[in-house]
Amino acid sequence: MPEGHTLHRLATDLTAAFAGRRVRVSSPQGRFAADAAALDGATVVAAESAGKHLFVELEGERYVHVHLGLIGSFDVRSGAAPAPVGQVRLRIENGEAYADLRGAIVCDLVGPERRATVLGALGPDPLRPDADPDRAWQRVRRSTRPIGDLLLDQSVLAGVGNVYRAEVLFRQRIHPQRPGNTLRVGQWRAIWDDLVVLMAEGVRVGRIDTVRPEHTPEAMGRAARDDDHGGEVYVYRRTGQACLVCQRPVRTEVLAGRNSFWCARCQPRFRSRAVQ
DNA sequence: GGAAGATGACAAG
DNA sequence: TTGTCCTCTTCCC
């Protein structure tokens, strides 16, 4: 289940497995069958990610545009492909490796124009070295929307999902409901720089770990937890459990349509000076 | 065996 | 704001 780091890693794995190679393309489930047939036997150029979007380029400037949505998965494995298990919408294989796509919200065959349109609608991606954090800041500093809302808006910045939103705001001690236009530029830069580090680490290890060494269960003398998303986090989906830093119960509230998590002590609610 | 959720995004009203 | 879609897992009866 995907935030930007998952897609970035996926692009790397797909490129390693298939770039420069002819591939068989199929749709065992059937919903991508016509396009798969058109692509079958083509040579893969490369795969790339931008935010939560993935493009697999095949010869002839043809791109398979994939967005995993909330529940999609794209598994890249080595070896010959076995009989498909479950609803495999897209399978790419070359005898030495195979990749199965399931549950994606988008799986379309597109051309360069559509690809450019999708990329153009995205804010800067902390995983891309050419990303310009100031472009996002110009949106944040003018907005009265909560920062927890802005961080999930892919046109403001691309690749952050619900886990990174909760975790980066905890690490920077900023309440999710704090309006964007009350942040100082230094706080924004701290959020961005932290995302660059956290997401790069997410790509490297393949899971989301955000807990600093001094706050790990071992360092705090507590039993290790086994989070069901695979990583070690401060507040994400820890509602009611003790904050790893101050022991207060972690709180939750729906923000921008998604569950938001924070510690009321470590991330005090912002009070506008104008009100006082 | 069924309901509820889940790291997402969109359209409709 | 609500409803809808995608698939799988976990939980409850």
pLDDT tens-digit map of A66-118:
999 999 999 999 999 999 999 999 999 999 999 999 999 999 999 999 999 99
Q: Which pair of structure tokens corresponds to residue A98?
A: 């195979």
Interatomic CA distance for residues A272 and A216, integer angstroms: 34
Out of A52, A91, A165, A238, pick the active-site residue. A52
Looking at residue A12, its pLDDT comes to 97
Burial class (CB in 10 A: 0-12, 13-18, 19+), A71: exposed
Interatomic CA distance for residues A129 and A217, integer angstroms: 33
Q: Is the pTM of this model over 0.85?
A: yes
User: How do strand A90-93 and strand A97-102 relate by DSSP bridges?
Assistant: antiparallel
Does the active-site annotation cover A2? Answer: yes
- A265 vs A276, more confident: A265
pLDDT tens-digit map of A134-151:
999 999 999 999 999 999
Does the active-site annotation cover A146? Answer: no
Answer whether any strand B atom is within 7 A of the Cβ of A198.
no
pLDDT tens-digit map of A25-41:
999 999 999 999 999 99
Exposure string (b/e) for A122-149, b if CB count within 10 Å is 16 or more?
bbbbbbbeebebeebbebbeebebbbbb
The H or E element containing residue A4 is helix A4-18
Q: What is the mean pLDDT of residues A32-59?
A: 97
Does pLDDT of A276 surpass 50? no
CA to C1' distance (Å), from A134 to C9: 40
Does pLDDT of A127 surpass 70? yes
Q: What is the mean pLDDT of residues A188-208?
A: 96
Does the active-site annotation cover A28? Answer: no
Q: Band the pLDDT of A229: cuts 50, 70, 90.
A: low
pLDDT > 70 in chain A, percent? 95
The three state secondary structure string of A16-67 is HHHECCECEEECCCCCCHHHHHHHCCCEEEEEEEECCEEEEEECCCEEEEEE
Does pLDDT of A275 surpass 50? no
Nucleotides in chain C with any atom closer than 7 Å to protein CB: 1-3, 5-8, 10
Does pLDDT of A228 surpass 60? no
Does pLDDT of A129 surpass 90? yes
Tell me which DSSP letter residue A119 carries. Answer: H
Answer whether any strand B atom is within 7 A of the Cβ of A203.
no
